[in-house]
Amino acid sequence: MAAEEVNYLCIMTKKNIREFNLPELKTYFESIEEKKFRAIQVYEWLWKKNVRSFSEMTNLSLELREKLMDVFSFNVITTDITQHSLDGTLKTRFKTYDGHLMEGVLIPTEKRFTACVSSQIGCSLACKFCATGQMERIRNLSFEEIYDQVAILNEQCLLAYDKPLSNIVYMGMGEPLLNYKHVLKSIERITSTESWGMSPKRITVSTSGIAKMIKQLGDDGVRFNLALSLHAADDKKRSELMPINDTNNLSQLVEALNYFYQKTKNDITLEYILFKNINDSIEDAQRLVTLYRQIPTHLINVIEYNPVAGVPFIKPEEETTNMFTQYLANHRVNVRLRRSRGKDIDAACGQLANKS
């Protein structure tokens, strides 16, 4: 049996220490006749200092560290490959404890340093324009695997730019609302004063549009922002681009987004990728304005299409893009044209596919 398989089997027979909350850790330490403050020390190593092994917990005795290693697993992700774009964007391919791969991106701009993180390994929604959508969904990421992406991207940000992350977007591989429990738990951990303490207003979760789960976000009173990957303002075109629209059509999404806003008052952004001769006409812009009026959205992001191998879409000419965005602006739509970042390393919107 290969060494990697042995290590994986050992991990699977142990309890994952990061699934324990602080009271549970205190109970464990009491059960082995250790002081409660040891639990606090371990918890700080896990969530404030972001260590990735028991051996790094240097204020614990060697004997206690060895005892923890015998009882608990430490299922961290590791950096596989990091690529550097000419525009300063960094794309990292991560490896999970069980050998799967996924990607995250550090996006630097003048005012922000944003981590774009993945929520699944692969994706099941098969959006026609997206590289990840061409992949099989293997499994959901656990909350600590999502958290690890943020921690590693923050380390990269500090090293490359001497600044910490300012924002986090769940816009990487996978559909966040199909990994609802772990996405919310990761955000809870990121925003907790016991770990990062980041404001939830600096976090945006992007969804392809699952109406039931958008309403659930409202019922759960989440405090982060929401982005809807729209890409067409009529059902026929949207279903051709995004099969999820067959079961979650625009009228259902309008209702769900209004419900979410009534419950939370959080910002909602519409994401709209322009595809040449598909959704870039003035008629498409008119339909988008009509839809915009039905949703309490604060912004439409018009996004440049980024090429994906084997996918037949291309982006419109600059003149068409400008006419489209100007039409929106002329009709009192708060619109922003989002230029691609990291396109030369396949790190831009829709390009993540574990390619290096």
Residue positions annotated with a catalytic role? 103, 349
- Give residue limits of the domains in the chain: 3-73, 78-345
d(CA 110, CA 281): 32
Top CATH class, 3-73: mainly alpha
CB neighbourhood size of 30 (10 A): 13
Q: pTM for this structure? A: 0.91
CATH numeric code, 78-345: 3.20.20.70
Q: Is the dihedral of CA 55, 45, 222, 302 positive or negative?
A: negative
Cα(327)–Cα(324) distance, integer angstroms: 5
Q: Are 227 and 215 in contact (CB under 8 A)?
A: no
State mean pLDDT over 322-347: 83
Query: 295 to each of 10, 25, 256, 313, how far by Cα in Å?
Result: 50, 45, 10, 28
What tens digit of pLDDT does each residue of 250-289 get? 999 999 999 999 999 999 999 999 999 999 999 999 999 9
Closest CA to 145 of 183, 180, 178: 183
Per residue in 17-63, pLDDT (tens digit) is 999 999 999 999 999 999 989 999 999 999 999 999 999 999 999 99
What pLDDT, on a 0 to 100 scale, did the predictor assign at position 318? 94
The whole-angstrom separation of Cα 19 and Cα 74 is: 10
Give the model confidence (pLDDT) of 280-321 as tens digits.
Answer: 999 999 999 999 999 999 899 999 888 777 788 999 999 999
Write down the pLDDT at residue 29.
Answer: 93
User: Is the pLDDT score of 126 beyond 50?
Assistant: yes
The answer to whether residues 304 and 128 touch, using CB atoms and an 8 Å cutoff, is no
Task: Report, as an integer, the average pLDDT of 210-227.
Answer: 98
Measured CA to CA, the distance from residue 235 to residue 253 in angstroms comes to 11
The yes-or-no verdict on residue 134 having pLDDT over 90 is no
Residues with Cβ within 8 Å of 291's Cβ and at least 6 positions away in sequence, in order, are 230, 233, 250, 254
